Chains A and B, each alone.
Chain A
Amino acid sequence: MKIGHALWLGLGLLASGPVAAQSVTVALKADIRGTNPGVNRDDDTDAVALHMVEGLVAYREGGTVGPLLAEKVDLSGDGRTYTFRLRRGVKFHNGADMTSADVVWSWNRFMDPKTEWRCLSEFDGRGAVKVEAVEAPDPHTVTMRIDKPNALFLDSLARTDCGMAAVLHKDSLNPDGSWKAPVGTGPFKFGEWKRGQEVILTRFDGYVSPPGDKRDGFTGQKKALVPEVRFLVVPDSSTVKAGLEAGRIDIAEIVDSDIPELEKSKNVKVLLGSTGGRHAVIFQTTDPVFKSAKMRQAIAAALDINQIVEVAASGRVKPNNSTIHSRSPYYSAVQARGVTYDPARAKQLLAEAGYKGERIKITTNNRKTAPSFNIAVVIQAMLQQVGVPADIDVVEWATHMDRFLKGNYQIMVHSYSSRFDPALSFEHFTGPKRSQPRKVWDNPEVQQLLEKAAAASDEAARQKMFDELHTRMLDEMPLIILFNQLDAWATSARVEGFTPNEGRARAWGVSVRN
């Protein structure tokens, strides 16, 4: 028996070999798609890439934009030329100094269609803005000139799905111009990618952090405290739980249903927050039943959103009927106004809308990472109470997205991903259905107002327009925004300094106790 124990102990030590004492292991739900920022990506891919690369500007906590590789950003009087003064002393992972020439080279590479940058159409004139010229008047200054004033320009540059329009060194490419690996300025360097298994990053000792003594979204203090981060692919949530308990995983995003059990564990710390992602009930306003605003208002009055949040997020976030997150500086008293649960009024509105008891279909999906199915079940019960019979059509994610993009649904429980600026957030669901079937709110007046808000840079004027948009949204009710995505994370007990940030792991500022 003793020999057996010794053998197991030996094997156990052998198994613990690959984990370095000081490395931090972060669980990923799926393998990354690539290492080329903003090209072939998803949320996990962005999270890994943004440890290695940085852009001129980045999102702060709460979604405003702040300088990252830039020290200062000035806007010309005509609102068309942005001047970025670069931070001095910033180095690439290969030891080279970061200069304005690198910024221009990186930008030109992104704007080359061969790069296949997913955000190309946002900057080449097909989207809201056209970048007409990018110049480097001196080694520490870059200017970017756009075709017309646009308040969202910096926000678009900071977008994580655009790879933050990262400044890269030429060594990131092979001699033939193909992508090799990121040589950026981030706090961690690319180490190794074992496909399907893990991505290993190592600390960049030459890293120069932006000023500040604390993290601030993707900017602020970004010093790496651990020598290595391992992003380990762990697709199953039960395995994530076991890994956290066993101390083999240090940081992981967890599913809502695992929160109560992990909160009781001595080996695990649970950290909760909310992201700018929005869970919503969206209506197909061209559907014969839902083309009437009164019908949509009736559905809204039938929903007890507090109860939906209680069931779908265990009451761990607050209801929010605004598309603007409550942490945003634009979250005013008007934005805090929402829908009121009133079944009697719902019945009255149903009668006024001429509802004849038609059976309705709620489309939702079975993703574990979003509470869409639970929301649909609660809504079905609530609609039943006011005399609206409903069926739930549960599909897998790819089918859900196909129906969403084609507008092929009657009512859909959908989760919009995070967009920080209110104008972008409204734009997510506002627009002409004929050319963009995914859009929910098709109203030319609203569209014009939104375009004005996107171009305006005066904050008070923007606030007024966003408040008007919110009021009109509640009135026309093309969708009902329910609440923001719960950002649920857990760390092993030895981890210190980790905080969730918009559903993405940040390993800088994180340390481990031995």
Chain B
Amino acid sequence: MLRFILRRLLMAVPTLVIMAVSVFVLIRLIPGDPASLMLGDLANEATLAEARARLGLDRSLPEQFAIWFGNVLQGDLGRSITSGQAVLPLVLQRFWVSAQIVLAAVLLASLVAVPAGMIAAWRQNSATDLALVGTATLLLSIPTFWLGLLLLLFFGLKLGWFPVVGYVHLSEDPGAALLYMVMPVATLFLHEIGVLIRMARASTLEVLRLDYITHARAKGLSEGAVLWRHAFRNAFGPTWTLIGLVLGNLLGGIAIVETVFTIPGLGRLLVDAIFGRDYPVVQGCLLFVAFVYVMVNLVIDLLYPVFDPRVTAE
């Protein structure tokens, strides 16, 4: 098990290095630089040259990369050009904000979507199946920004149940923080159950067609026992993998949801950094996101044998 973890972590190293080089080069290939954005059209050429020199943008690309990557190896992701903050604490702080929302939404979505998908498969082609699949497809088709705005306008503005703007950290006021989290979590939850119901249904359908399920039924087991005791564990495998992918994707940033609900999360930090050509923040965010993606999928793979004993972590 330990060797498997070490091997996976070592395999992640080239991924992260390739990621670091790609991000560094790609962000600089886009026209525009932070100095000109910072100074706008009021700056004269002397000020612009001064700002570029101060930010190290007058050095050659290999030189800039060597400095940045050397610092990264020592755990220093640099400082934000726009705010002057150290990138690593900034990324971690914003990640925690996003992670609370993502973890809550994915956990709730999994708890609802997996049983719902299995029921849809069990009642294939019935009205229940049609209703569940129809709902899942509808939820999947609604863009999150529009769903978020609908929730905001209805529950926030019309009913006044939830605050429409602002954010409170859990550490400041847990009660208020939960209230601020309801609509963003609901938006992600509604979108993700669409994805997960379809996967849970498809994988359950596949399992229900296998001989050992026919055998279980032939033994006279109740449908409930067949479904939960025999079908569930095998059918859950692909959905578990999908949950890992969803989690990895969402933890990388939920910029749209964060923008609509004014949440200071990682996604908004990244998008703002890209528009502001804040190179150290873009590089730091994406490197961190890649790391999180690798780690989440490693954890998912390590837990896979719990659901499917045929798979081992060796």
Residues of A bordering B, CB below 8 Å: 8, 11-12, 14-19, 27, 30-31, 33-34, 40-42, 116, 118-122, 126-127, 159, 161, 194-198, 232-236, 238-240, 242-243, 245-246, 248-249, 395-399, 401-405, 416-417, 419, 428, 435-436, 438
The 6 sampled A-B contact pairs (Cβ below 8 Å) are: A34-B83, A196-B94, A239-B261, A398-B37, A401-B32, A438-B41
Least CB distance from A277 to B in Å reads 10
Least CB distance from B165 to A in Å reads 4
Evaluate contact between A14 and B41: CB separation under 8 angstroms. Answer: no
Evaluate contact between B165 and A234: CB separation under 8 angstroms. Answer: yes
Task: Mark interface residues in B19-35 (1 if CB within 8 Å of A CB, else 0).
Answer: 00000000000111100
Contacts of B268 in A (CB 8 A): 196, 235
Evaluate contact between A14 and B47: CB separation under 8 angstroms. Answer: no
- With A196-B268, A197-B167, A235-B268 as known contacts, state yes or no: A116 contacts B36, CB within 8 Å: no
Which residue of chain B has its CB nearest to the CB of A401?
Answer: B36
- With A234-B262, A396-B275 as known contacts, state yes or no: A248 contacts B165, CB within 8 Å: yes
Please tell me if B135 contacts chain A, counting CB pairs below 8 Å.
no
Evaluate contact between A242 and B45: CB separation under 8 angstroms. Answer: no
Within 21-78 of B, Cβ neighbours of A (below 8 Å) are at 30-33, 36-48, 50-51, 54
Contacts of A33 in B (CB 8 A): 38, 82-83
- Per the CB 8 Å criterion, the residue count for chain B at the interface is 56
Please tell me if B176 contacts chain A, counting CB pairs below 8 Å.
yes
A246 to B164, CA, bound (A): 7
Evaluate contact between A34 and B164: CB separation under 8 angstroms. Answer: no
Which residue of chain B has its CB nearest to the CB of A127?
Answer: B44
Please tell me if B314 contacts chain A, counting CB pairs below 8 Å.
no
Evaluate contact between A11 and B42: CB separation under 8 angstroms. Answer: no
Please tell me if B173 contacts chain A, counting CB pairs below 8 Å.
yes
- Name which of B152-160, B200-208, B304-312 contacts chain A: B152-160
A272 to B194, CA, bound (A): 44
Contacts of B84 in A (CB 8 A): 34, 40
Please tell me if B175 contacts chain A, counting CB pairs below 8 Å.
yes
Which residue of chain A has its CB nearest to the CB of B155?
Answer: A8
Please tell me if B4 contacts chain A, counting CB pairs below 8 Å.
no
Evaluate contact between B164 and A402: CB separation under 8 angstroms. Answer: no
Contacts of A196 in B (CB 8 A): 94, 264, 268-269
Contacts of A30 in B (CB 8 A): 272
Evaluate contact between A242 and B262: CB separation under 8 angstroms. Answer: no
Which residue of chain A has its CB nearest to the CB of B43?
Answer: A118
Contacts of B175 in A (CB 8 A): 11, 14
**Chain B contact residues, majority secondary structure:** helix
Which residue of chain A has its CB nearest to the CB of B33?
Answer: A402
Within 167-212 of B, Cβ neighbours of A (below 8 Å) are at 167-168, 173, 175-176, 179-180
Please tell me if B161 contacts chain A, counting CB pairs below 8 Å.
yes
Please tell me if B259 contacts chain A, counting CB pairs below 8 Å.
yes
Contacts of B82 in A (CB 8 A): 33, 40
A197 to B177, CA, bound (A): 13
Which residue of chain B has its CB nearest to the CB of A396?
Answer: B275
Contacts of B269 in A (CB 8 A): 196
Contacts of A232 in B (CB 8 A): 165-166, 262
Evaluate contact between B83 and A419: CB separation under 8 angstroms. Answer: no
Contacts of B54 in A (CB 8 A): 116
Residue from the list B38, B156, B161, B264 in contact with A242, Cβ < 8 A: B156
A404 to B37, CA, bound (A): 11
Please tell me if B149 contacts chain A, counting CB pairs below 8 Å.
yes
Please tell me if B163 contacts chain A, counting CB pairs below 8 Å.
yes
Residue from the list A194, A243, A398, A404 in contact with B165, Cβ < 8 A: A243
Contacts of A19 in B (CB 8 A): 166
Which residue of chain B has its CB nearest to the CB of A406?
Answer: B31
Contacts of B162 in A (CB 8 A): 11-12, 15
Residue from the list B41, B153, B179 in contact with A416, Cβ < 8 A: B41
Least CB distance from A131 to B in Å reads 16
